[in-house]
């Protein structure tokens, strides 16, 4: 009954709450009547097999359906055959599959995000809003009611699902963001930052997949000095931290400076006694434990 309620709620938008309530009342009354007739007739019988119980239920159900109703002058079976059966539509060829719908905006890297994974769309739709339909198996992307991309849904492995035909590598004039633009932007900060951007773009199968990371990195560097950004960039390339999370951690924890090859000198302090202290001769009263 709960499933029936959900189906009726999902029926056409023209279905009012009152109409749904009327349909539910009729269905519940019919189920209550059939249950009373069948259980009332079989309540004193004992069955020793499931097949025997089903056969008895079938006989009682046929009796209910073939009974002529005094108010209408016809049986329930006759009403079904003459009124309801002609109106029934054929069952769909495919099983129903639950789907989630989301609104998404296409990023500069030609991808949309769904639950931390990214799926490509044609590059001509950069910054456009699209509809995303996600099932357990596939991701479908629609623009103005037309399906423009379909991908197998990802649960692990690489985070980008990219169709090479969607990427604008051979059609740069259609894209506002290009690898050269990111390199020039990074070079305005310094050579180490430019090297970091080049490394990020080179680490992706398609350079466009690194656009989102480059944007995030360059925005992080807005809040730090140029020298600090250069030190962070150098350290990030050194350790292979080519993502926003690693670079943000370097900035926050001040770990960007390269480790020096020379050992750090020990600071001279009065409280540092040194090794000679432990070899000196102790007073006699201390040695005896007094």
pLDDT of residue 152: 92
pLDDT of residue 132: 95
- Which tens digits make up the pLDDT trace of 119-167? 999 988 988 999 999 999 999 999 998 999 999 999 988 788 888 788 7
What's the CA gap between 85 and 79, in Å, rounded? 9
**Could you tell me the pTM of the whole model?**
0.42
pLDDT of residue 221: 87
What's the CA gap between 287 and 277, in Å, rounded? 15
Maximum distance among all Cα pairs of the chain, rounded to whole angstroms: 123
**Whether the Cβ atoms of residue 225 and residue 192 lie closer than 8 Å to each other:** no
DSSP class of residue 125? G
> The sheet that has 138-143: what strands, in order across it?
100-105, 129-134, 138-143, 146-152
- Which tens digits make up the pLDDT trace of 163-192? 878 876 544 443 456 778 888 888 888 888
pLDDT of residue 105: 92
**Whether the Cβ atoms of residue 93 and residue 79 lie closer than 8 Å to each other:** no
What's the CA gap between 230 and 240, in Å, rounded? 15
**How do 117-120 and 160-161 pair as beta strands?**
parallel
- Which tens digits make up the pLDDT trace of 214-263? 888 888 888 888 888 888 888 888 888 888 888 888 888 754 444 444 45
Nearest-5° Cα angle at 215, 126 to 220: 150
pLDDT of residue 69: 87
* pLDDT greater than 90 at residue 37: no
Return the structure tokens found at 82.
């003459």
What's the CA gap between 102 and 133, in Å, rounded? 7
Residue 56 confidence class, pLDDT cut points 50, 70, 90: very high
**Whether the Cβ atoms of residue 200 and residue 237 lie closer than 8 Å to each other:** no
pLDDT of residue 104: 93
- Helical H runs in the chain? 2-9, 17-42, 50-66, 76-79, 85-87, 179-187, 191-202, 211-220, 226-239, 244-253, 284-287
DSSP class of residue 88? P
> The sheet that has 111-114: what strands, in order across it?
111-114, 117-120, 160-161
* Numbers of helices and strands, H then E, in the chain: 11, 7
What's the CA gap between 146 and 127, in Å, rounded? 17
């Amino acid at each position: 009954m709960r499933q029936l309620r959900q189906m009726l709620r999902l029926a056409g938008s023209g279905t009012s709450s009152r109409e749904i309530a009327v349909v539910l009342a009729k269905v519940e009354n019919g189920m209550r009547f059939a249950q009373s007739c069948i259980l009332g007739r079989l309540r004193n019988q004992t069955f020793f097999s499931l097949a025997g119980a089903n056969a008895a239920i079938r006989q009682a159900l046929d009796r209910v359906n073939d009974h002529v109703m005094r108010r209408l002058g016809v049986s329930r079976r006759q009403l079904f055959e003459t009124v309801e059966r002609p109106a029934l539509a054929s069952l769909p060829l495919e099983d129903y599959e639950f789907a989630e719908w989301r609104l998404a905006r296409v990023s500069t890297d030609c991808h949309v995000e769904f639950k931390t994974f990214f799926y490509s769309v044609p590059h001509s739709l950069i910054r456009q809003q699209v509809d995303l339909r996600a099932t357990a198996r596939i991701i479908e992307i629609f623009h103005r009611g037309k399906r423009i991309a379909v991908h197998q849904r990802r649960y692990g492995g690489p985070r980008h699902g990219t169709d090479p035909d969607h990427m604008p590598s051979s059609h740069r004039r259609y894209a506002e963001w290009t690898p050269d633009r990111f390199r020039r932007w990074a070079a305005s900060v310094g050579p180490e930052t430019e090297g970091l951007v080049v490394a990020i773009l080179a680490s992706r199968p398609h350079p466009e997949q690194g656009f989102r990371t480059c944007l995030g990195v360059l925005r992080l560097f807005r809040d730090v000095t140029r020298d600090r950004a250069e030190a962070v960039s150098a350290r990030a390339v050194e350790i292979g931290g080519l993502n926003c999370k690693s670079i943000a951690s370097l900035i926050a924890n001040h770990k960007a400076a390269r480790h020096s090859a020379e050992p750090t000198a020990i600071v001279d302090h009065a409280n540092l006694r040194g090794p000679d202290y432990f070899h000196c001769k102790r007073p006699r009263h201390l040695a005896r434990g007094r």
